[in-house]
A and B are shown apart, each in its own frame.
Chain A
Amino acid sequence: MAATTESVKTDAAEAPLLNKRNLILGVLLYVVFYAWVRWYEGVYGWSAGLDSFAPEFETYWMNFLYIEFVLEVTTAGILWGYLWKTRDRKVMSITPREELRRHTTHWVWLTCYATAIYYGASYFTEQDGTWHQTIVRDTDFTPSHIIEFYLSYPIYIITGFASFLYAKTRLPTYQQGLSLQYMVSVIGPFMILPNVGLNEWGHTFWFMEELFVAPLHYGFVFFGWAALGILGVVNTEVQALTKLLKKDLA
């Protein structure tokens, strides 16, 4: 009886396998933040975002750009630094239950990455199409670019690398080297950001027209394919989880 009570107490004190609060807050963070961003675009895109030489453009859009640059560098530094600094130096000696718990946390990170990828690659990229096909640009830093290239892309890059770092520093599965498809699924979409250099250089030749299927845009396409690396990550995870759960599911 005493032993049973002790066991129950231990269970109650133990952290749950899935921290639902982190999962919900993590996804909500992106959804609520981007809802606000979309509201900002709606209000200040047309009223202050048409002429980059106008003073209100500086106020509402260039200042937005400067602020997001600072916040992104700061966030990346703090988040990646924290994950690296607090890495587990004895990762191969953790218990199976702790390993399972960490896999769950890892999937919270991947869930956040999936959400961030959606907003960057789908929502704000196609939005950029309708803006530039409608409005003639006179700068690289248009309202849609300031959000798409310089906000939504860095956010999924920060999230993706954080997810990768978590796996690399805390999970035994990822100690056997570098997971090729994990790197593809994180570094590939990351390369979309440097590809902006090619894109904007090209647009200095074709400044007035926006043809979305123009070969100039194919760099984005190529690196977008890398998102499929998530399939390899899933397979790696399924193999690891199968090992952890197999005998209990048999």
Chain B
Amino acid sequence: MSASQSAVRSRAEAVKVSRMFDWFILWAVFWVVLGGYHIHYMLTGGDWDFWSDWKDRRLWVTVAPIVAITFPAAVQACLWYRYRLPFGAVVAVLGLLLGEWVNRYLNFWGWTYFPVNFVFPSQLLPSAIALDVILMLTGSMTATAVLGGMAWGLLFYPSNWAVIGPLHVPVEYNGMVMTLADLQGYHYVRTGTPEYIRMVEKGTLRTFGKDVAPVSAFFSAFVSIIIYFLWHFFGRWFSSTEFVKAA
């Protein structure tokens, strides 16, 4: 390419072309990250996310934030450290939520006929906003990992409380006490997922009674901090522009 030649005819065209590529990049990053994030999330925390009767006070609160902080950390590592764009976590989570909502409505409801109030996805946006705001205010990966990762885990249960609270109301059914969410699960039978593989409220943590959710959230926040560190560096590696020689 000759240095004397220009790719565009005017500054106005250069600006226009630059904006066009902004939209291209936004589209591609959004949908590809959505795809990668969604397949990761559905296969590491999906069962707790699919069904309201899996959304318990212990394992859902623990597992979902830990496996969900991965892609937001990686996307932040690219968008903030390369372009100073403070919305990596929100973009990733918006993509995940869109993919989930489309699926829950068109497939969980549209193909296998489970009601939407049994299969709604978990809410992650408040956690993502906190993660982005902390990164923007501190400009520090370490502070974001520690404070943001902590906030990510702790905010998860409160973010979902308004939706899941009514389904955790206890009911008596055939002489047994259970939650409304449990009752939904018994009525909407999933033949391929029998009751004995439902992982909810297992173990002695239940002896903590009302403290189960806060303890689980605190543990989740602790692991989220570590996962954030790890995935920040994954994100840096995935952002590299290295070329290798053909083998």
Contact = CB atoms under 8 A, between A and B. Distances in A.
Nearest to B1: A96
Interface in A94-117: 94-97, 99-100, 103-104, 107, 110-111, 113-115, 117
Q: How big is chain B's contact interface, by range? A: 35 or more
B238 A123 contact: no
Contact of A245 (B7, B107, B110, B245): B7
Interface residues of A, number: 81
A224 B40 CA distance: 6
A52 to B, nearest CB: 15
Interface string A187-227: 00100100000000000000011111100011011001111
A235 B82 contact: yes
B1 A99 contact: yes
Query: Which secondary structure dominates where chain B touches chain A?
Result: helix
A125 interface: yes
Interface in A226-250: 226-232, 234-239, 241, 244-245, 247-249
A212 B13 CA distance: 49
A118 interface: yes
Nearest to B189: A134
Given A130-B107, A135-B192, A104 B28 contact: no
A226 B36 contact: yes
A117 B31 contact: yes
B111 A110 contact: no
Contacts of B46: 126, 129, 212-213
Contacts, number: 246
Contacts of B29: 114, 230-231, 234
A218 B41 CA distance: 11
A208 B32 contact: no
Contacts of B24: 107, 110-111
B102 A129 contact: no
Interface of B: 1-2, 5-11, 13-15, 17-18, 20-21, 24-25, 27-36, 38-40, 42-48, 50, 63, 71, 74-75, 78, 82, 99-100, 102-103, 106-108, 110-112, 114, 119, 190-194, 197, 234-235, 238-246
24 contacts: A42-B110, A95-B1, A107-B21, A110-B24, A114-B35, A115-B31, A121-B36, A126-B38, A177-B243, A180-B243, A185-B32, A211-B193, A212-B47, A213-B44, A224-B40, A225-B36, A227-B33, A228-B75, A230-B32, A231-B239, A234-B29, A248-B14, A249-B11, A249-B14
